[in-house]
Structure 1
């Protein structure tokens, strides 16, 4: 789908920290912004391909002039895909055209009613996986050391995605990572410009908004399911970040 459609229903759907149950490829053909991927923030621009595995926390700015394609591989896909997140800057016209062509072919098959369309789309996905493999190899000629802060932020966001419903605080995550809360917060600031507690709250409140928008679960049940101490505390935290109470947000969706 067009990347702009990802923000349908509210920009929070792309700008708040969240993770998906299926792999995602973002192919930006126009515009620029910033993306936080696995706890690290960097800029993206035209002809950037960003692969996000299932379960990896991410968020990104989506400027009005941004254009591109988002491809969802489906939960449990058997297509061979990279095991880790990838941010590829595609500078040569050949690979740019090749990726755009593969995506066009996939869309054409999905939109058609011809026999074997789904199987053909799967084969094009296989070509896409080869394209990713080759571009990753081409950009790995000069391996770069990953700063310690980015490594720690990546470990933190992986734990956060696993346990954000538990009610654990930053101190609990820091203890599991073997660092102090102050050190963890400093590393997150260095890696993505945000504190550890901000990442935690952002992830929980994204999920709260999703549940309020997409389900009829009572506010109390959502609060309990996300590990808030009480519905009253959940309402205060939600209002402080979103500017509306949970009930008012649900009515406005």
Structure 2
């Protein structure tokens, strides 16, 4: 079994454009994190897919993504905002389900910006107890999320509930088993539906077929391992369920335009 390095566990606050600094694939491809993530967009627009549902985002959109939830989003050159990574086992009372909130009230926007400024200041500071102070401000962010979720119940649900539920179940299963080499037919069987129905639902909720979501998740992990570890290509291929390194190389080059070795050198 390929050993995959765990991401950092400490809370971090990062400007959204910086998330794509190593390549837009780092934010656009489907993946799930082992820690909760909060996104606050202040400029620009794009599309974001969370738990198998795609929506547009605009300025003053706040999005919360629980740990283990598959997601990916566009970051164009005019997109600005802040990403807050809460860290694993942060211990805060955070929402159990994803949230996409459109914050129209100026007072709520100001409160959030002040809280994010305070988090960033304490995280970057060297005053006594700055880590503890940052934790308190993260707690205030969790309170802000709880209040805004209560003020915007079930906002902006553009897809049928049954489709959203099936797409969410598919992405959960996909995140668990994407290293297994399973195909769309295998996932459909596990979900008790036909491959055609699963593909139709994914097209409805994301605009993409189920096969694309599966390939996206596998290729994200392949690129991450090639860029961030020294694992041999054949081990990366084996750990992602490919029958042979040669087949992995062909599939990787077809979708990225580079061989795994070329991609590793450029990364």
Shorter-chain TM-score range: over 0.9
Partner of 2:210: 196
Once residues 123 and 146 of structure 1 are traced to their aligned partners in structure 2, the CA distance between those partners, rounded to angstroms, is 38
Question: How much does 1:147 deviate?
Answer: 2.7
How far apart are 1:110 and its partner, in Å? 1.1
Query: 1:130-173 deviations in whole A, cap 9, x for unaligned?
Result: 10000000001779684322211111001000110011111111
TM-aligned CA deviation for residue 8 of structure 1: 1.4
What's the TM-score once normalised by structure 1's chain length?
0.97
Alignment of 1:89-128 (within 5 A): 89-128=102-141
Structure 1, 64-73 or 148-157: larger mean CA deviation: 148-157
Name the stretch that deviates more: 111-120 or 183-192. 111-120
In the alignment, structure 1 residue 206 sits paired with structure 2 residue 220: yes
* 157, 165, 180: which one aligns with 1:151: 165
Checking the alignment, whether the CA contact within 8 Å between 2:101 and 2:155 is kept in structure 1 is no
| Alpha-carbon distance between aligned partners in 2 of 1:142 and 1:211, rounded to the nearest angstrom | 37
Taking only aligned residues, the RMSD between alpha carbons, in angstroms, comes to 1.3
1:166 and 1:44, CA in 2 relative to 1: closer, same or farther beyond 3 A?
same
- Give the SS at the match of 2:96: coil
Write the mapping of 1:226-237 to structure 2, written as runs, cut at 5 A. 226-237=240-251
Structure 1, unpaired ranges of 5+: none
Q: Any idea what the Cα deviations from partners look like across 1:102-145, whole Å, max 9, x if unmatched? A: 00001111111111111111111111111000000000177968
1:165 pairs with 2:168: no
Classify the secondary structure of the residue corresponding to 1:29. strand
Distance 2:203 2:30 in 1: 15
> After TM superposition, where is structure 1 displaced by more than 3 Å over at least 4 residues in a row?
141-146
Q: Does 1:238 align with 2:249?
A: no
Counterparts of 2:156 and 2:251 in 1: how far apart (Å)? 42
Q: Aligned match of 2:97 in 71, 81, 84?
A: 84
Map 1:4-83; keep pairs closer than 5 Å. 4-83=17-96
Q: Which runs of 5+ in 2 are unaligned?
A: 1-13
Give the total of aligned pairs.
Answer: 253
Q: Which residue of 1 aligns with 2:201?
A: 187
